[in-house]
Structure 1
Amino acid sequence: MRRRGFVAALAGATAGVTVPATGCLGSRGVTVLSAGSLAVVLDENLGPAFEDDTGTAYRGEYYGSKAVMRMVEERQKDPDVVVSADAGLLRRRLYDGHTDWDVVFGSNSVGITYNEGTRIGKRLRDGEPWYEVLRDADDGDVAISDPELDPLGYRAVQMFELAEEKHGLDGFKNEMVSKVYEEPQEPQLLAGVRSGTRSAAVAYRNMAVDHDLPFHEPPDELNFSNPELADTYAEATYTTEDGDTVRGSPVLYNATVLDGADRYGAGIGFVNYLLDSPDTLRRNGLSVPEIRYNGEVPEEVSA
């Protein structure tokens, strides 16, 4: 049974079922543990639409993708579906034990989201080079997500490194790392920017769209959006506290259903629904490349 037929069958199987409100993992319905950058599009758009169309409740929780992988590995969470903002991270951490397949469904761009009412924000709005503006920021005035927990965090550090090389900014990466605020909860990264208590944050484009904030997008060789520049991105690295060195890579979102998921069929149905919703993803600031399948993808997910 192919994608569309599977989702239709899921809807028929749950016809007449009352869908409870969304909530925490473990409640009735399909459970999704996802990269925090997708919190708005999943929790406010795709999740409710999936419920309406299939009669299957949606349950989502959102963290940095590294934290998501750790929660699955350590059995802190037991979701049906896992969604990552770093396709390679999911494969390295969850293959050979939790799943043997994934599907890439979206991409993104890394840049600077800012508050126009702040000193730093006004300079970014006026078109000054972002690296000069951020270099002049006060300690803690620019936020990144925690690179120990989240690909967006280590991509921020890698972007600083790439900019240092491209623009001849001696010491720029280390200077920025020493002064930024590291937000441990990725969905909260832009809270201070919205309120004006922080001037800017290194964020994904879709996060700026979600929160109606301006976004400065560096050129492709710095923003991790172009798969054709994978070798350029890989020149920048981040080494975690436990000694794992991560090379820069294009932003690619992927999803899988875990082996032994409590509601495996509903999980497959949600992944299919995600693949069949490119317009929703685009409206929320994501790019939608051609769907890519990796590993032993179930027949029900193949196009």
Structure 2
Amino acid sequence: MWSASRRSFVRTVAAAGSGVGVVGCLGSGESVSILAAGSLAVVVGDHLGTRFESETGIACRGEYYGTNAVMRMIEDGRKYPDVVVSADDALLRDRLYGEHVSWDVSFASNVVGIAYAPDTRFGERLETGDPWYDIARDADTGELAISDPDLDPLGYRAIHAFRLAEREHGLDGFAETVADAAYREPEEPQLLAGVEAGNRTAAVVYRNMAADHGLPFHSFPEAYDFSNPDYADRYAEASYTTDEGYTATGAPVVYNATVVENADSPDAGREFVRFLADSGEVLRENGFETDGFPRTHGDVPAEVTSG
């Protein structure tokens, strides 16, 4: 476990690096390959990846998809990363523990809500205080985008939020109506591209994604924004079963990372996870929640946690 203070831990990991690998931060010599949740693409590519390489000399090679798609790729043997980073700690543990991994480090949380184009009727109504659920229910088919819930935790969290909002606000039939009308984006990193291009007016996203794209963000209430552990029991009242039969129960958003057991560069992978776990300041600056992190699960190697 981390026994040193965060300040001393930062000094300790200065030679360890932090950043999900991304296209564009490749270098010569040793490298680490990362398969990660799409919501991390910008913060890692623009902030953490280059810092990791400059401080360690280890180049980053990363790919970004919905986390459920990430798990499928590893299980099916289509991808062989050194590090896997999930936007749902339970999903990683349910799918990869035993055969592929034996430990993980949780490093951040997030807030779910709506990013929107301000110069649209949807955005104007949000900014004048109309309830988001009335606006969403009035929206045209395809106007609101969500990530594909069969591929990505952000997608099934959108469904969870709709179902919890229906109960919270007494909105009979709301969840099914809004979910059926929403455009489902199969590539999480592209979720806001339609809003920026004017093809959509809004999307259900994590707070950091709105910040990444310079779009205004309207957080859902804590009762269904999946940010507050005190609401865990309420979040758990919603669930979604994917097309492959995995049932995701509502829970606070928790990101976690680990090194896969057949990694080509396990040492570089552990350095990456160690640095990522202590990147709280950068993550906070970019819209993530980091109070109470990092946390460990399983038999975490000493070189990841020592300080």
Normalised TM-score (structure 1): 0.92
Change over 3 Å in CA distance of 1:4–1:205 after alignment to 2:
closer
> Aligned partners of 1:132, 1:8: CA distance in 2, in Å?
49
Q: Give 1:88's aligned amino acid.
A: A
Contact 1:85-1:252 within 8 A present in 2 as well: yes
Higher mean C-alpha deviation, range 137-146 or range 121-130: 121-130
Match of 2:20 in 1: none
What is the CA deviation profile of residues 250-296 of structure 1, one whole-angstrom value per residue up to 9, with x for unaligned ones? 10000001112111000011111112221110111001032110001
2:151 aligned to which of 142, 149, 163: 149
> What is the DSSP-based 3-state SS (H/G/I as helix, E as strand, rest coil) of the residue aligned with 1:221?
coil
Match of 1:139 in 2: 141
Change over 3 Å in CA distance of 1:9–1:173 after alignment to 2:
closer
Match of 1:82 in 2: 84
1:180 aligned to which of 175, 179, 182: 182
> Aligned partners of 1:117, 1:227: CA distance in 2, in Å?
35
> What is the DSSP-based 3-state SS (H/G/I as helix, E as strand, rest coil) of the residue aligned with 2:305?
coil
Match of 2:304 in 1: 301
Shift of the alpha carbon at 1:149? Answer: 0.1
Change over 3 Å in CA distance of 1:79–1:235 after alignment to 2:
same
What is the CA deviation profile of residues 213-265 of structure 1, one whole-angstrom value per residue up to 9, with x for unaligned ones? 10001211110001121110000011122333221011000000111211100
1:200 aligned to which of 199, 202, 207: 202
Contact 1:7-1:54 within 8 A present in 2 as well: no
> Aligned partners of 2:283, 2:248: CA distance in 1, in Å?
27
Match of 1:44 in 2: 46
Change over 3 Å in CA distance of 1:262–1:196 after alignment to 2:
same
User: How many residue pairs end up in the alignment?
Assistant: 292
Shift of the alpha carbon at 1:75? Answer: 1.1
Shift of the alpha carbon at 1:127? Answer: 1.4
Residue 233 of structure 2 corresponds to residue 231 of structure 1: yes
- Where do 5+ consecutive residues of structure 1 fail to align? 12-19
Residue 234 of structure 2 corresponds to residue 222 of structure 1: no
Residue 268 of structure 2 corresponds to residue 240 of structure 1: no
1:283 aligned to which of 282, 285, 288: 285
Match of 2:58 in 1: 56
What is the CA deviation profile of residues 110-152 of structure 1, one whole-angstrom value per residue up to 9, with x for unaligned ones? 1011000111111112111000001000000000000000000
Change over 3 Å in CA distance of 1:180–1:234 after alignment to 2:
same
Contact 1:117-1:196 within 8 A present in 2 as well: no
What is the CA deviation profile of residues 146-166 of structure 1, one whole-angstrom value per residue up to 9, with x for unaligned ones? 000000000000100000001
- Where do 5+ consecutive residues of structure 2 fail to align? 3-8, 18-22
Shift of the alpha carbon at 1:196? Answer: 2.1
Contact 2:30-2:57 within 8 A present in 1 as well: no
Contact 1:4-1:272 within 8 A present in 2 as well: no
For residues 91-170 of structure 1, the aligned pairs below 5 Å read: 91-170=93-172
Match of 1:71 in 2: 73
Identical residues among aligned pairs (%): 56
> Aligned partners of 2:219, 2:199: CA distance in 1, in Å?
22
Shift of the alpha carbon at 1:209? Answer: 0.8
Normalised TM-score (structure 2): 0.91
Contact 1:118-1:196 within 8 A present in 2 as well: no
1:292 aligned to which of 278, 290, 295: 295
> Aligned partners of 1:167, 1:108: CA distance in 2, in Å?
23
> Aligned partners of 1:43, 1:78: CA distance in 2, in Å?
20
Contact 1:6-1:269 within 8 A present in 2 as well: no
